[in-house]
Structure formats: structure tokens, C-alpha cells
Amino acid sequence: MQALQQGVEGDREITYAIVMDASGVVFVDTHRPEEIQTRLTGERDKEAISQSKVTVATCREGAEMETKQPLALLTDIKTNRSDVSKALASKDF
């Protein structure tokens, strides 16, 4: 999660990143860390959760562009690191 924070800080085009599970519980929020472990229930949050592919949208509130991308997080502790690297390289997740 620290790598995500550093990535956001090091990229001028990214304002913030949020990682949440399918129910809306926040794991990472680089903009509002106090939101971690809370459930987001707003319309934009529900829309983000429902995405099954990368989606780019312009927010109604202004000129802000938002990219929503579903992630597959590995939870099997028996997974070999080389398998993970191969999956990420091929984007087969």
C-alpha cells in the first residue's frame, strides 16, 4: 500500500487513489486516509464497484477525470511469486 501512495505522489497526473473491496470497504485512500476501513456508499462509489472493466469518466462536479479499474487481489498464500509476476506481466488476472 505504501508503493501505491508513493506512486500517486510521484505522478503529477494522479490526484488520489482509492482501493476498496466489492462491498465498498476502503483499504487505501491516498487523499483521505481517515476513510480506511469505512464503507463508501455514495452513488460514485456504487458505480465504481459495479465496473467490470477499465472505465474513464468525467465527473459532473468539474473537469476532473476519473479512471475506475477493477483489481484482482491474490489471497492464496500458497501462490508462488513467479506466478504472480507472470500474471501481472501478461495482465492475466
Residue-range domain boundaries for the chain: 2-90
Instruction: With 0.75 as the threshold, say if the pTM is over it.
Output: no
Query: In the chain, where does DSSP find H-type helix?
Result: 2-9, 43-49, 81-90
Q: Are 19 and 71 in contact (CB under 8 A)?
A: yes
Question: For position 61, what pLDDT does the model report?
Answer: 62
45-67 residue pLDDT tens: 888 888 888 777 766 666 567 77
Q: Nearest 5 degrees, angle CA 38-CA 46-CA 9?
A: 60
